[in-house]
Amino acid sequence: MIEFKLRDGDTHRRQCNEWNNLETPKERGDFFTKYGARWTELARLPYLDLVRCTVVDPMHNLLLGIVKNQWYGQWILQGALRKATTTHGRELDVIHQFLESFESPLWAGKLPLRVGEPAGGSLSADEYKLAAITVLPIIIPIVWDMYSEEANVDFQKAKLKWEDDKKEYEMAMALWESNAHQDAETGEIQTGKKRKADGQPVPPKKPKVRMQDGEARNFLRLATALKILLSSSIDDEQLERAQILLEEYLLGFKELYGESAMKPNQAWAVHIVDQIRDFGPVYSFWTFVSERLNKLLKNFNSNGLKGGQMEISMMRSFGREKQLRTMVYVPFRVLHGLTSTSSFSS
C-alpha cells in the first residue's frame, strides 16, 4: 500500500505565496499541476491552518461518493444485481420484495420500491444513508447467499466460451496480419486506421465473476463504519474502531475490484476521522443543511424576474406564508376551543 506524506499548513501557505509571485498563466498552471496549490486570500491569516481547516464533506464523500460507487458503480453497472426477467427472479427482485415489507419510521425516510432500476430514479444522500446503515446490511448477505453459486456457474460457462472465442480470435488475427502484410507490400494499406476499417478482429472481453466471495462481508465493514461515523454522538474508542473498519473496507475493495476501480473519494475518506476529532460529530459540519437551503431557494417563486434582490423576494414569500397560516389555523383553533394561537401566528 502506497503511503503519501501528509500536507501541512505552513508548506501549503508557502506554496500559495510562490504561486502568487509567478507572472505568466503557464507558470502558474504548471506550478498548480505539480503542487496542487494556488493563491487564496485566506493565506494572509497567520492563525489559519489551510490544510487542517479544509473540510471533506461527509455527505458527498461517504454517501454520494463511497456508498454510491459501491451500490451503483460496482453492483448495478457491473451486473452483480440484475432485475428480474418475465420468467426468472433475480437479485433486485429479492431486494424489491424485501422493501415492500420493510417498515421504518417516517423520520428515517424510505427507498424507492424499484431501487436499482431506471424506474426507481437516482437516490438522494438521505436514501443512500438509509440504504447503507439500515436496509442493505440486512438484505445483501441474503442475496449473496442465494445467488453467489449461480453467479459462479455463469462465470465458468462464460470462461469456457471466452477461451473458445479467444482461440478463434487468435486464428483470425494471424490471418488478418498475414493479409495486411501482403497488402502493405503492394501499397494498398497505408495506415492502422485503414487496417481497422478493413476488418481487424476485435478480441473477446474476458469475463469477470459477477458476485465475488467476500463482497457482502466487506460491505458490512463499510456499513458498520458508517453507522459509527454518521452518529450524532461519538467517542475516541468508537472513532478508532470506525477508522479500522473503513481502512479494512477500502483495502478489501481494492482486492475485490482492482486498483482501477478506486476513486479519489476513497482516499479522502480516511481523513474524516481526524475532522470529527477537530469539529465534533458530522452533524456539525456536513452540508445537508446548506443543500436543503439551496433547494428552498430554488423553490422561491420569482415570477421570472432576473433583477432585484433575493432577500426581498424571500421576505415577501415568508410574509405571505405567515399570513396564510394565520388565516387558516387561527379560526380552526378558535372553533375547537384552543385559545392559544401563538405557535401558529409566529
The predicted-structure confidence for 148-176, as pLDDT tens digits, reads as follows 999 999 999 999 999 999 998 888 888 88
Is residue 297 situated within a structural domain?
no
Is residue 25 situated within a structural domain?
yes
Q: Which value, to the nearest 10 degrees, does the dihedral of the CA atoms of residues 18, 19, 24, 29 take?
A: 140
Residues 228 and 96 placed together within one structural domain of the fold: yes
Residues 144 and 217 placed together within one structural domain of the fold: yes
- Domain C-terminal end among 54, 74, 91: 54
Give the domain range for residue 191: 167-196
Whether the predicted pLDDT of 182 surpasses 80 = no
Q: Contact, 177 vs 192, CB < 8 A?
A: no
Residues 98 and 71 placed together within one structural domain of the fold: yes
Is residue 218 situated within a structural domain?
yes
Residues 340 and 222 placed together within one structural domain of the fold: no
Residues 72 and 221 placed together within one structural domain of the fold: yes
Q: 345 pLDDT band (50/70/90 cuts)?
A: very low
Residues 317 and 179 placed together within one structural domain of the fold: no
> Worst-scoring range by mean pLDDT, 66-75, 198-207, 269-278, 331-340?
331-340
Residues 189 and 208 placed together within one structural domain of the fold: no
* Per-residue confidence (pLDDT) for residue 70, from 0 to 100: 96
Residues 145 and 174 placed together within one structural domain of the fold: no
Is residue 230 situated within a structural domain?
yes
* Per-residue confidence (pLDDT) for residue 185, from 0 to 100: 58
* Per-residue confidence (pLDDT) for residue 183, from 0 to 100: 63
Is residue 240 situated within a structural domain?
yes
| Mean predicted lDDT score pLDDT of the chain | 86
pTM value surpassing 0.85 = no
Residues 103 and 247 placed together within one structural domain of the fold: yes
Is residue 161 situated within a structural domain?
no
Residues 252 and 138 placed together within one structural domain of the fold: yes
Provide the domain count of the chain.
Answer: 4
Whether the predicted pLDDT of 77 surpasses 60 = yes
Residues 185 and 63 placed together within one structural domain of the fold: no
pLDDT, tens digit (0-9, with 9 covering 90-100), for 276-324: 999 999 999 999 888 887 877 777 666 666 666 777 777 887 888 888 8
* Per-residue confidence (pLDDT) for residue 325, from 0 to 100: 85
The residue with greater pLDDT, 234 or 305, is 234
Q: Tell me the average pLDDT across 8-15.
A: 93
- Domain C-terminal end among 11, 30, 54: 54
Whether the predicted pLDDT of 226 surpasses 90 = yes
Contacts of 199 (CB under 8 A, 6+ apart): 176
pLDDT, tens digit (0-9, with 9 covering 90-100), for 105-160: 888 888 888 899 988 889 999 999 999 999 999 999 999 999 999 999 999 999 99
* Per-residue confidence (pLDDT) for residue 72, from 0 to 100: 95
* Per-residue confidence (pLDDT) for residue 3, from 0 to 100: 64
What does the alpha-carbon distance between residue 244 and residue 48 come to, in Å, rounded to a whole number? 30
Residues 269 and 143 placed together within one structural domain of the fold: yes
Q: 339 pLDDT band (50/70/90 cuts)?
A: low
* Per-residue confidence (pLDDT) for residue 194, from 0 to 100: 41
